[in-house]
Amino acid sequence: MKPNRVKFAVFLLVISAATPMLAQNGAAIYKSKCQMCHMADGSGNKAMKVPAFSPNASAASLIAITRKGISPRMPAYAGKLTDAQMKAVVAYIKTLK
């Protein structure tokens, strides 16, 4: 194998191993901060008029929403969660069906 192909293969291996770990760490944060409104499966709390997560939502858009919040119901988590924690939560959200 050429050196660039080896580096790329190692990169893919690291990324594939990191994603489940991020999701696992995000699960605990999701349960404590998000589940009460978004439900355990991400289906949304209909009584609170919280919609389900869109399966087509990008990670970047979910992070932006988490960071800024949605007035008046969803609080902004900028300053409350680190960027790494927000990424972990979004990785977990992406595992929900």
Neighbours of 7 (CB within 10 A): 11
The range of the structural domain enclosing residue 57 comes to 3-93
Number of domains in the chain: 1
Residue 2: predicted pLDDT: 61
Query: Is this model's pTM higher than 0.75 or not?
Result: no
| Separation of alpha carbons 84 and 23, rounded Å | 11
Q: Is 74 helix (H, G, I), strand (E, B) or coil?
A: strand
Residue 63: predicted pLDDT: 95
Give the pLDDT of the chain (97 residues) as one tens digit per residue.
566 776 666 555 554 444 455 556 899 999 999 999 999 999 999 999 999 999 899 999 999 999 999 988 899 999 999 999 999 999 999 999 7
Sheet strands (E) in 1-97: none
| Separation of alpha carbons 86 and 15, rounded Å | 17
Residue 4: predicted pLDDT: 72
CATH code of 46's domain: 1.10.760.10
